[in-house]
Amino acid sequence: MSVCCLPDAPKLPSVSVSASAEIVEGSSVNLTCNGEANPAATYTWFKVNDRDPLSQTPQLNFSSIRSSESGQYSCTATNALGNTSSSIYINVKYAPKFASLSVIPSGEIVEGSSVNLTCSSDANPVANYTWYKENQTLLQGPEHIYHFTSISPDDRGIYYCKAENQFGHINSLFLFLNVQYAPKLPSVSVSPSAEIVEGSSVNLTCSSDANPVANYTWYKENEEQPLGPGSIYNLASISSEDKGNYCCKSENKHGQSSSFLFISVQYAPKLPSVSGSVSGEGSSVTVTCSSDANPAANYTWYKENEDSPKASGQTFTISDDGHEQSGNYQCKVQNSRGHHSSTLHLVVVQISPEDPGVWKTVAGTVIAILLVVLIVSIMLWNW
C-alpha cells in the first residue's frame, strides 16, 4: 500500500497590497500583491481609469517615482475559479515645483486703489508662503495673497514670494510694483539763495515727487499767461519789476499741485522825484524827495557850495530868510546798492505891495520859485 499527497482544494484568489508609509518624489517604490489561490493565480496591475496594464507580476516597481504618478492603483488576481482585486492610493509628496507671482489689477496701479499680489505653487503637501519686498520679510504663512487695501507711493518697489514645505522651497521671479500718483507739493528754490541784486542772473527751480514724472509751468502772481514751461525758469538779468510772488505748478495725468516763492530784488535808488508846498501863512516852503529803492533809501539835503548837509529825511522845510535862501538844493538818495540825486532851484523874489497886477490883497510879499528837474514852480509869499 502506498500513500501520496492529495492536491489542495480549488480556492478563489485573496489579495493584499503593501507599500512604504510615505512616498516622496524621486524615491524607489515597490507595490506588492499577495494572494493565495488554487490553482495558482496570475496578477495584473492597473492604474485606476487607465486601460493599459502596468505590470503582470505580483510586483509593481517605480525606480524614481514622479508626482504625476500619484493615484489609485489596483491589483487583480485571476485563476480558473475567478478573480479578485485590491487597490491602494499612492500619494507622492514633493517640494514646490514653482512659485508664480502675479498682480491684480494687471494694468496701471494708482495710489489709493486696492491691489492683490498672488503667489501660486504646485506642492504636496501644500506650501506655506513668505512675502518679501526688496529682501525685507513682509509676511509668512499659508496665505498665498498679499493684499493692499489702499496702496501708497511708499509701496512702490520689487516684490517676490517663496513657496515652501518640508521637502523644499522655491522663489518666484521678481515683480516690480509701479504705483502711479499725482504730484506731491512741489519744492521751490531760488539760485543764488543769498541777496538778489538787480542785473544778476537768477534761476527758479521746482521739483515734485510724481509718477509719471510731472510737467512744470511757472506763473507770476496776478498774471494769467505762464512765464514758461520746465522745472527751471531763468531771469537772465533780473530787474526791480521782477520782484513778487511766483507760482510753480506741477502736473501729470493723475492731478496737480502748486507752490509759491517770493522774490525780493535789491536795487539802487531810482531817479528821485521832488515836490514842494507852501505853508498856509506863506512863511516857508516844504520840499519832499522820494525814490523807489530796495533796501529803503536814506535821504540827505545839500545846498550848493556848502559841504555840510542842510537836513536828512525825505522832507526839508526852507524858511523865509530873504534872498539868502535862493540857490540850488540837492536831494541825495542812497542805499547799500548805490545812490542817485535830483537838484531843485529856489528863487526868492521881493514883490512890491503896490504892484496892482499881483494879488491886490497881499502887500510886501516874497515869492519862492522852485525849479525841479524841468519846471516846478512854487510861490512863497511873506510880508
Q: What is the mean pLDDT of residues 363-367?
A: 34
Place of cell 511757472: 218
The reported pLDDT for the residue numbered 45 is 92
- Mean pLDDT check: name the lowest of 124-133, 177-186, 215-224, 337-346: 337-346
% of residues, the chain, pLDDT over 70: 82
The reported pLDDT for the residue numbered 226 is 93
Q: What is the mean pLDDT of residues 239-247?
A: 94
Question: CA 85 → CA 2, 16, 71, 72, 88, distances in Å?
Answer: 41, 9, 16, 13, 10
Could you tell me the end-to-end alpha-carbon distance of the chain, in angstroms, rounded to an integer?
A: 190
Confidence of residue 297 (pLDDT cuts 50, 70, 90): very high
For the cut 60, the answer to whether the pLDDT of residue 165 exceeds it is yes
Sheet with 42-47, strands from edge to edge, namely 42-47, 71-79, 82-90
What residues contact 313, with CB distance under 8 A and at least 6 apart? Answer: 299
The reported pLDDT for the residue numbered 346 is 77
Confidence of residue 51 (pLDDT cuts 50, 70, 90): confident
Distance CA 340, CA 343 (A): 11
> Whole-model pTM?
0.69
Place of cell 510861490: 379
The reported pLDDT for the residue numbered 280 is 53
The residue type at 356: P
What phi and psi values does residue 337 have, to the nearest 5 degrees? -100, -5
The reported pLDDT for the residue numbered 86 is 85
Domains of the chain plus CATH, in order, are 11-93 (2.60.40.10), 100-180 (2.60.40.10), 187-266 (2.60.40.10), 273-372 (2.60.40.10)
Phi-psi region of 374 (alpha: psi -120 to 50; beta: other; left: phi over 0): alpha
Q: What is the pLDDT of residues 251-291, one digit of tens each?
A: 999 999 999 999 999 999 999 998 877 665 556 788 899 99
Nearest 5°: the CA angle 275, 281, 284 is 45
Q: What is the pLDDT of residues 181-226, one digit of tens each?
A: 999 999 999 998 888 999 999 999 999 999 999 999 999 988 889 9
For the cut 50, the answer to whether the pLDDT of residue 377 exceeds it is no
For the cut 90, the answer to whether the pLDDT of residue 31 exceeds it is no
Query: Mapping DSSP to helix (H, G, I), strand (E, B) and coil, where does residue 290 land?
Result: strand
Q: What is the pLDDT of residues 82-120, one digit of tens each?
A: 888 888 889 999 999 999 999 999 889 999 999 999 999
Strand-strand pairing, 202-207 and 100-104: unpaired
Strand-strand pairing, 196-197 and 265-266: parallel
